[in-house]
Every structure is written in C-alpha cells, then in structure tokens.
Amino acid sequence: MTEDIGSKIRQLRISKNYTLKQLSEESGFSVGYLSQFERGISSIAIDSLKKLADILGVNLSSFFEGSSPNQFYPVVHSFELLPNEISPQIYQYILNRPSSDFDMLSRIFLLMPSPGQEPPPEEYCHEGEEFIFVLEGIVTVYLKSEQYVLYPGDCIQIHSTQLHNWANRTNRAAKILQLNYPNPLKKTGNGETDKPKSGKESN
C-alpha cells in the first residue's frame, strides 16, 4: 500500500515538474524522507500525505483509488469519515464500509455539551449487545436506573436488552467508540437493511 502511494506521488511530482528538492522545500519534509517514501521504504501519516496532495493539486482520496486488487478494500481512512447529524447534540461516524457484511457495527459518536440541569435521557432497550469506550471527555451511562460516569479510557459492555442510554452532562464535547452486535445496518436476505433504533438515536 505504501509503495503504491509513494509511486503515485513520484509520478505526480514528475508530471508537475517538481524536483525532490522543490517538494521538500514546500512541504518541510527532508529530501531523504521523500525519496524513501516514494520507494515504499517509509510510511506516511494521513495529515502529511494531505499536505503533499495540496501542494501537488490533487484530492487526498486519489491516492487510494484502485490501490487494492480486492473489490472490498478493508481499511477505512480517517479522511473518509463524514459526520452524520443524529440530533443537535449527537453526531455519528460509521466506521464500517457500506459494502461490508460484518455482524458488528462500529461507530464513533461525538457528543456535544449537555449540562446536567437537563432531564436524564429516556432509557430504552433493543436486541443484542453493545460496547462503549470513552475516547475523549466524560460520559454518563444510564443502565437500569443506575448512573455510571466514564472518563477517557473507561469502557462498559452491556446487554442491550437492558434499559439503557448515555449522555454528555459536561460543558465540553465528548467522543466515544461504540460497537453494536448485531449490526443494524447489515443487509438482510431480501437486500434491505435493518434500520437502527431511533432511541438515543440509534445507540
């Protein structure tokens, strides 16, 4: 993969009449590093690759098109993640590819500040299990009339058939990784999808 992208950078650099030195001066990366990357010897971070893409005048996604011989390319890159507004307080990023048939759904939720004076969210239940890992901020999980406060690095796994919900009761944004089983977006035998439940809005 790195070799493919490095080769594309090299071809694009040459077509744009850039020397390694010129690209080095504009990007801030050393000539040696760029040379190694173009030959597939060194890896590169997405934000660094975006800097090169901007300099060479192309979209970042162009480096990944056709880079895998498989119809289903398993990696979801960070630049591909687009937020979906569930409510003014909640945004979700679906980590599964639409073409995937995995039994587990993985998502990142961005929870906007919701100060504690607001009433607790309504608890609900649904089929399956779910796992929550706090990436940033502080999240309150409501489970069977109990409250659990989770900090960065904390996690909880529950049977979704139990009454539950979660919320950000602080004045700073929070972010969680959530895994759901079974996958409500997986295509059924008739080609349709099982739509997520709308409570908490689909957590």
pLDDT digits (tens, 9 = 90+) for 67-98: 544 556 778 878 778 788 777 788 999 898 76
Above 50 in pLDDT, residue 196?
A: no
Segments of the chain assigned to CATH 1.10.260.40: 2-63
What pLDDT band is residue 14 in, cutting at 50, 70 and 90?
very high
Long-range contacts, 96-103 (Cβ 8 Å, 24+): 96/183, 96/185, 97/72, 97/73, 99/71, 99/72, 100/72, 101/186, 101/187, 102/183, 102/186, 103/181, 103/182, 103/183, 103/186
What pLDDT band is residue 44 in, cutting at 50, 70 and 90?
confident
Above 80 in pLDDT, residue 62?
A: no
What pLDDT band is residue 18 in, cutting at 50, 70 and 90?
very high
66 vs 74, residue with greater confidence: 74
Range among 80-84, 156-160, 163-167, 195-199 with highest mean pLDDT value: 156-160
CATH superfamily, domain 2-63, is lambda repressor-like DNA-binding domains (1.10.260.40)
Mean of the per-residue pLDDT values of the chain: 82
What pLDDT band is residue 64 in, cutting at 50, 70 and 90?
low
Looking at the chain, the whole-number percentage of residues with pLDDT higher than 70 is 81
Above 80 in pLDDT, residue 61?
A: no
Segments of the chain assigned to CATH 2.60.120.10: 81-184
Please give the model's pTM, rounded to 2 decimal places.
Answer: 0.64
- pLDDT for position 199: 39
Looking at the chain, the whole-number percentage of residues with pLDDT higher than 90 is 42
Taking residues 4-10, what's their average pLDDT? 84
- pLDDT for position 72: 62
Interior/surface letters 121-150, b for 16+ CB within 10 angstroms, e for the rest: bebebeebebbbbbeebbbbbbbeeeeeeb
Residues found in the chain: 203
The CATH code belonging to domain 81-184 is 2.60.120.10
Above 90 in pLDDT, residue 188?
A: no
Above 50 in pLDDT, residue 202?
A: no
Above 50 in pLDDT, residue 4?
A: yes
